[in-house]
Amino acid sequence: MPDLHTANQTAQSAPQGAGPLDPGPAQTRKRIDSIDLLRGIVMVVMMLDHTRDFIHSGALLFDPLDFSQTTVWVFLTRWITHYCAPVFVFLAGTGAYLQFTRGKSKRELSRFLITRGLWLVILEVTVVRLLVTFSVDPKLLFFLQVIWVIGASMIVLAALIHLPLKVVAGFGLVMIALHNLLDRFPAQPWRGPGTPVPSWGAKFWMLLHQQAFFPAGPNFPSPIVAVLYPLIPWIGVMAVGYAFGALYKMDQERRRKLLLSIGGASVVLFCLIRAWDVYGEPQHWHRQKNTVFTILSFINTTKYPPSLDFLLMTLGPAIVALALFEMSGGSQRDGSWIRKFFVTFGRVPLFFYMLQWFTAHTIALILYISFSKPWKWLVKTPVDWQYQPGMGFNLIVVYASWIGGVLLLYPLCKWFAGVKARRKDWWLSYL
């Protein structure tokens, strides 16, 4: 979620003759713990961002990435959460490929991706919207965040999977690499009451490639649509994630070497393109008041929509992490308690995602009311969020609330992960 003030399975080896881009015969496979571990870590980090949104005193006052107002710790608290959305979307694509290798036909997989994608979009504009705002005010019609973009990307992926895997990978890589060319053609944003409402074509463009708020109808007043996550290049990220799943048909040692090579090359490419500073990122980096802030400027890349630099900066280290998690050895059964802790969250991603909104929001309400601070903005839509003197708490309270919230959710997630492991009801695959 963007800042409130602006947005406001250990795998088996491939059968004889099956190559890395050839799924080969369907096989029964267990979950891959390294993938669940990575997903679980970034989900827990994601809750930090949402807790900060609701509780930090500066959430409605300034952009935590604004060097004229932020501090190093506020910046890093926001920046580290940049890893969440790219990993979610990328691994959603990988998970789709793994379902194919576990026995689903392409026709069955397409049907599943379409129905689950539609389900996610519906959840986004109903339940998630309610949990974020604690409001049913129709003034905000749609609040389109990461769940919507995963759902819509799944629907597109349902068609892409019928193409050769190399074509799917190429499609995704081209979209990631070249979409910043579209930055040259921005639609005129809506600047509020009394200003022109964007045309239908402009609104469609915003859904594709430009974060924006705009009236749903041809005139204002009418309910507002908030496009926090435009679709491009997230569709490409999921497509590349789908092709990436083919690596999990290789033997483990070969895969680890490839993961390290791909992830390391992405990090190096990020550093080179960012240093070049001509293409791949709308925000130029600059020398700052000291070395630390200059480094922060270098890694301060654009998330909405995610630039080429942003995706290299986040997905590169994530792929390296997958290799390191395999090298550390062990499955959830014989791993350390901390590994088991995060794997549990990674096995119930949507369940955790929904609950963490409710938990972070509720903790914020309890704190505000307990300390007699203004709290009614927490039960309004983002259209109505405004700063009031005395709002919020410092970062220590934010981190304490985040840790407390995660610990509260662990028993519920462990229970639901057990339910999903024991039962094979079809509807569980939608949760």
Question: pLDDT tens across 138-159, in order?
Answer: 999 999 999 999 999 999 999 9
Sheet containing 224-227: give its strands across. Answer: 140-144, 224-227, 212-215
* Res 12: pLDDT: 31
Burial class (CB in 10 A: 0-12, 13-18, 19+), 223: middle
Q: CA end-to-end span of the chain, whole Å?
A: 21
Cβ–Cβ under 8 Å, residues 72 and 49: no
Q: What is the DSSP letter of 290?
A: S
* Res 329: pLDDT: 57
Looking at every residue in the chain, the average pLDDT score rounds to 91
**pLDDT band at residue 430 using 50, 70 and 90 as cut-offs:** confident
Rounded Cα distance, 180 and 208, in Å? 12
Average pLDDT value for residue range 302-315 = 98
Q: Which tens digits make up the pLDDT trace of 157-166?
A: 999 999 999 9
Q: For residue 102, how many other CB atoms are within 10 A of its CB? A: 13
* Res 335: pLDDT: 63
* Res 9: pLDDT: 35
Return the amino acid letter for 331: S
**Closest by CA position to 55, among listed 372, 378, 354:** 378
Q: Is the pLDDT at 6 greater than 50, yes or no? A: no
Enter the tokens of residue 117. Answer: 């994608």
Handedness of CA 122, 123, 125, 127 (dihedral sign): positive
b/e map 383-409, b = 16+ CB within 10 Å:
bebebeeebbbebebbbebbeebbeeb
Query: In the chain, where are the structural domains located?
Result: 33-183+200-430
* Res 3: pLDDT: 46
**Closest by CA position to 50, among listed 2, 12, 9:** 2
Average pLDDT value for residue range 288-305 = 97
Q: Which tens digits make up the pLDDT trace of 355-372?
A: 999 999 999 999 999 999
Q: For residue 211, how many other CB atoms are within 10 A of its CB? A: 19
* Res 283: pLDDT: 95
DSSP assignment of 325-363: HHHT---TTTS-HHHHHHHHHHTSHHHHHHHHHHHHHHH
Q: Is the pLDDT at 278 greater than 60, yes or no? A: yes
**pLDDT band at residue 20 using 50, 70 and 90 as cut-offs:** very low
Q: Is the pLDDT at 22 greater than 50, yes or no? A: no
* Res 429: pLDDT: 85
Q: Which tens digits make up the pLDDT trace of 309-320?
A: 999 999 999 999
- The pTM of this model reads 0.91
Least confident of 264-278, 300-314, 417-431: 417-431
Least confident of 9-18, 113-122, 317-326: 9-18
Q: Which tens digits make up the pLDDT trace of 333-354?
A: 556 899 999 999 999 999 999 9
> For the chain, how big is the Rg over CA atoms in Å?
21
Own/partner long-range contacts of 296-300 (Cβ < 8 Å, ≥24 apart): 296/67, 296/72, 296/75, 296/79, 297/67, 298/274, 299/79, 300/65, 300/75, 300/79
The set of residues, in sequence order, having a beta carbon less than 8 Å from that of 188 and lying 6+ positions away, is 196, 198, 202
Enter the tokens of residue 325. Answer: 């998690």
Rounded Cα distance, 245 and 133, in Å? 36
**pLDDT band at residue 136 using 50, 70 and 90 as cut-offs:** very high
Cβ–Cβ under 8 Å, residues 190 and 198: yes
* Res 195: pLDDT: 92
* Res 27: pLDDT: 37
Q: Which tens digits make up the pLDDT trace of 359-405?
A: 999 999 999 999 999 999 999 999 889 898 899 999 999 999 999 99
Handedness of CA 80, 117, 4, 373 (dihedral sign): negative
